[in-house]
């Protein structure tokens, strides 16, 4: 069946979060703390192991008392913040206690994210072809300002964000809502993402799924380009 609309995941598909080393460096600068380079690298690695950077590595171990928050982390904004600040606090960082809140705020800033090289060109080409696009993301905050800052907002017709709907991928309702917003039947819709479990949930509605690799932006120049061949 011909593809008439495209759903895109956000993190690891269209844009990539900055490395934990840069994230921590910015946070420390904002609270006026300097650490030697070796210590900066050590602390960044500990934060990565703790899974404290949203959009970065998942925790090596999720404490039992945080399992509930982890499983529902993208359903509401307050829970998202509480989880990731708590994960950050598992790492002893220099400076004031508010550093953990500063780090969480940093990850929502447009400059903390980098579009993949083919993101803009693919979205622009889909708009030229008259193919509607939605972003379907498990997320705890509003992505629209970030897309606007990167010049991508004009090419997105709808945002299906988990925290706004109280449901997260792979549950079908989030994909179904996005398809309705685009006015396209699921059977004529392509879901593009980097997670076979979460994004693969769209197949329950009859969507076609195309997976890309979750890599740093400069290591993945063209995984989105096949989308243009899949769309009629």
Q: CA 103 to CA 84: how far, in whole Å?
A: 9
Q: CA 96 to CA 161: how far, in whole Å?
A: 32
Q: What is the band of 58 on the pLDDT scale with cuts at 50, 70, 90?
A: very high
Q: What is the band of 183 on the pLDDT scale with cuts at 50, 70, 90?
A: very high
Mean pLDDT of 56-75: 95
Alpha-carbon torsion (86, 143, 148, 188), positive or negative: positive
Span 212-222, pLDDT tens digits: 999 999 999 99
- pLDDT number for residue 57: 93
Alpha-carbon torsion (21, 39, 48, 106), positive or negative: negative
Span 87-118, pLDDT tens digits: 999 999 999 999 999 999 999 999 999 999 99
Q: If you ran DSSP here, which 8-state letter would residue 61 be given?
A: S
Domains of the chain in sequence order: 5-16+112-230 (3.40.50.1000), 17-111 (no CATH)
């Amino acid at each position: 069946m011909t593809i008439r609309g495209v759903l895109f995941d956000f993190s690891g598909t269209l844009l990539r979060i900055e490395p934990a080393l840069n994230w921590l460096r910015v946070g420390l600068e904002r609270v006026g703390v300097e650490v030697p380079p070796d210590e900066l690298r050590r602390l960044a690695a500990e934060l990565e192991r703790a899974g404290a950077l949203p959009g970065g590595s998942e925790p090596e171990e999720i404490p039992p008392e945080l399992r509930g928050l982890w499983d529902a982390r993208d359903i509401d904004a307050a829970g998202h913040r509480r989880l990731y600040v708590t994960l950050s606090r598992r790492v002893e960082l220099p400076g004031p206690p508010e550093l953990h809140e500063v780090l969480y705020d940093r990850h929502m800033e447009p400059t903390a994210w980098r579009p993949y090289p083919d993101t803009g060109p693919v979205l622009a080409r889909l708009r030229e072809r008259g193919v509607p696009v939605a972003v379907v993301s498990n997320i705890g905050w509003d992505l629209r300002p970030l897309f606007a800052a990167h010049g991508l907002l004009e090419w997105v017709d709808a945002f299906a964000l988990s925290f706004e709907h109280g449901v997260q991928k792979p549950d079908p309702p989030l994909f179904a809502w996005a398809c309705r917003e685009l006015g396209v039947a699921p059977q004529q819709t392509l879901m593009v993402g980097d997670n076979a479990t979460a994004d693969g949930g769209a197949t329950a509605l009859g969507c076609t799924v195309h997976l890309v690799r979750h890599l740093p932006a400069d290591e993945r120049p063209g995984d989105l380009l096949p989308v243009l061949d899949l769309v009629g």
